[in-house]
Amino acid sequence: MTEHAASSLRDLVFTTETAPVIDDLAALDALLPAMPDELERHAAVLERLPPLLDLRERALVHAQEYQRFLTLADADPSALEYMVDIGNALALLSHAGEIAMLLVPAGSFEDHFAKAMLAKERGAQYRSGAGVHEPKLMERALRRPFADSHPRLVIGAGIPPGMEEASRRFSGAVLPQAINDDSNSPNVYQLEHGLALEDWFNKPPDLAILLDEVRQLFAAIETWSQAEPSSPFWYGARRGALMLSYAHLARIGIWPARSSDDLIVKMEVERLISERADDPDPMRAAVEIALGVGRRIAKQSGRFVTVLGGVEL
């Protein structure tokens, strides 16, 4: 990563680059190829998944930049009020990457290695009392789905042969640099991208539209399951559509509610995942984690809504 000279938030020099900010949960939508057959289209998502180590690296960069934001804010608290949304944006990007890593299924040996390393890291973190989320939720989110028949990779004291570079990437010893282009792919962002980050945070997605898209995907899955004869793409389409559905639900979760309508959408998400007991529990737990992220951000400011009808949510 680039060395930085700023000693407080006021010392930051912002770049004027206009590359779009996109988080790793939102980026999953771009995996859908243009195909006429909806089942084949959603099944193809599974062949286009991002490497989990890429998600991990971006989440680490954004977590480090968020910590850097807090350090610079401590040096000059008077600047915090009007720059807080830069920190909020970095927090959202970091959490989005971590939650995407929980939702995206492992497809390669490196992916399974990353999942195993994450389980080991989180286990140590929560045993020490340093966990960010509710421990039981994280335990559920890391549990391997029953349908995953791949042998579980257990990481002990040593790193499996051939995974040395993957281990360095997972630990943050190697981190990606920002990509200087205007593509719609997820990127890494630093405090110096503060103007773009602030703009992105203040233009949240429409949570009601995201929820409506989830309902459409769930309805499509139900229709596909009843088709006779069943499509050869049925199983893959269901998995792809479920992952995209839960990525949408997680996006709803991580964004703080800015209106009563937003809060009602979040309540509907909680109801929906509680009723869909047949869906993979790790996915449902990941959405609960996302909802907790959104609540924590919302509680920091009166700009956000946390109470509906006198009840805090």
Which residues on neighbouring strands pair with residue 307, listed in sequence order?
Answer: 312
Tell me: pLDDT of 145 over 70.
Answer: no
Residue 186 sits at the vertex; the CA angle it makes with 184 and 192, to the nearest 5 degrees, is: 105
DSSP state of 87: H
Single out the residue of 304, 288, 296 nearest to residue 252, CA to CA: 288
SS3 of residue 2 by DSSP:
coil
Please say whether the beta carbons of 216 and 38 come within 8 A.
no
User: Token digits for 187?
Assistant: 């990127």
**Residue type for 23, please?**
D
Tell me: pLDDT of 10 over 70.
Answer: yes
pLDDT at residue 157, rounded to an integer: 59
Bigger pLDDT: 125 vs 89:
89
Rounded CA separation 113/167 (Å): 8
- Mean pLDDT across the stretch 20-26? 95
Tell me: pLDDT of 167 over 50.
Answer: yes
Query: CA torsion angle for 279, 281, 282, 283 (degrees, to 10)?
Result: 40
Q: Please return the burial class of 53, using the count of CB atoms within 10 Å of its CB with bins 0-12, 13-18 and 19+.
A: buried
pLDDT at residue 3, rounded to an integer: 58
Rounded CA separation 289/242 (Å): 17
Residue 17's pLDDT band (cuts 50, 70, 90)? confident
Q: What is the pLDDT of residues 78-120, one digit of tens each?
A: 888 889 999 999 999 999 999 999 999 999 999 999 998 898 8
pLDDT at residue 150, rounded to an integer: 54
Bigger pLDDT: 294 vs 19:
294
- Mean pLDDT across the stretch 285-310? 90
Reported as half-sphere exposure (CB side, CA atoms, 13 A), residue 172 has a value of: 11
- Mean pLDDT across the stretch 259-267? 95
Bigger pLDDT: 159 vs 122:
122
Please say whether the beta carbons of 110 and 54 come within 8 A.
no
pLDDT at residue 2, rounded to an integer: 53
Tell me: pLDDT of 267 over 80.
Answer: yes
Bigger pLDDT: 81 vs 208:
208
Token pair 């309805």: residue: 219
Rounded CA separation 185/179 (Å): 9
Rounded CA separation 247/100 (Å): 7
Residue 171 sits at the vertex; the CA angle it makes with 168 and 172, to the nearest 5 degrees, is: 85
**Residue type for 178, please?**
A
What global pTM score does this model have?
A: 0.92
- Mean pLDDT across the stretch 241-269? 97
Bigger pLDDT: 24 vs 312:
24
pLDDT at residue 179, rounded to an integer: 66
- Mean pLDDT across the stretch 172-177? 84
Tell me: pLDDT of 181 over 70.
Answer: no
Tell me: pLDDT of 146 over 50.
Answer: no
**Residue type for 150, please?**
H
Residue 313's pLDDT band (cuts 50, 70, 90)? low
**Residue type for 10, please?**
R
Tell me: pLDDT of 38 over 60.
Answer: yes
DSSP state of 308: E
pLDDT at residue 138, rounded to an integer: 87
Q: Lowest-confidence range among 19-28, 61-70, 124-133?
A: 124-133
Q: What is the pLDDT of residues 183-203, one digit of tens each?
A: 678 999 999 999 999 999 999
Single out the residue of 4, 20, 172 nearest to residue 93, CA to CA: 20
Instruction: Provide the CA 50 distance to its chain's centre, in angstroms.
Output: 13
Name the average pLDDT for the chain: 89
Bigger pLDDT: 177 vs 107:
107
- Mean pLDDT across the stretch 32-52? 95
- Mean pLDDT across the stretch 69-77? 91
Rounded CA separation 60/295 (Å): 22
